[in-house]
């Protein structure tokens, strides 16, 4: 009797974790500064299936936790390019890139001595 109870507990915990399985990817972007971080994290949070977005400006790596039933790594990379930044080997959408703040463009510097 105890064994059956233990087994059903295991089964229950399995099925709950299965329901919220999220996947995580790291995308190398072309961000420059904290302003980029705000823009990119903000916009990516509105992407379908995205649960959590963290951008590390130092390494330019965007970590995305997402629901694989609603989106996939390719869609996420395309979403990044549509904000105006490169995503791994995908180049930024040129129209969106043009609209970025000057210091957020590649090679730009937001260090404040301009």
Residues that bind Cu ion (CB under 5 A): 32-33, 35-36, 104
Between 39 and 79, whose beta carbon lies closer to Cu ion?
39
* Distance of closest approach, residue 109 Cβ to Cu ion, in angstroms: 9
- Residue number of the CB atom closest to Cu ion: 104
CB contact at 8 A, 70 and 49:
yes
* Distance of closest approach, residue 10 Cβ to Cu ion, in angstroms: 48
16 sits in which H/E element: helix 2-19
| Residues 6 or more apart in contact with residue 6 via CB below 8 angstroms | none
* Distance of closest approach, residue 43 Cβ to Cu ion, in angstroms: 13
């Amino acid at each position: 009797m105890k064994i059956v109870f233990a087994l059903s507990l295991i089964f229950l915990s399995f099925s709950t974790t299965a329901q919220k399985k999220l996947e995580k990817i790291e995308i190398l972007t072309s961000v420059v500064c904290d302003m980029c971080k705000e823009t990119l994290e903000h916009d990516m949070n509105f992407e379908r299936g995205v649960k959590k977005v963290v951008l590390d400006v130092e390494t330019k790596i965007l970590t995305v936790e997402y629901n694989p039933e609603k989106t996939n790594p390719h869609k996420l990379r395309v979403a990044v390019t549509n904000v105006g930044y490169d995503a791994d080997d995908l180049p930024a959408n040129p129209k969106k890139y043009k609209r970025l703040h000057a210091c957020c463009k590649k090679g730009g510097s937001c260090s404040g001595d301009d």
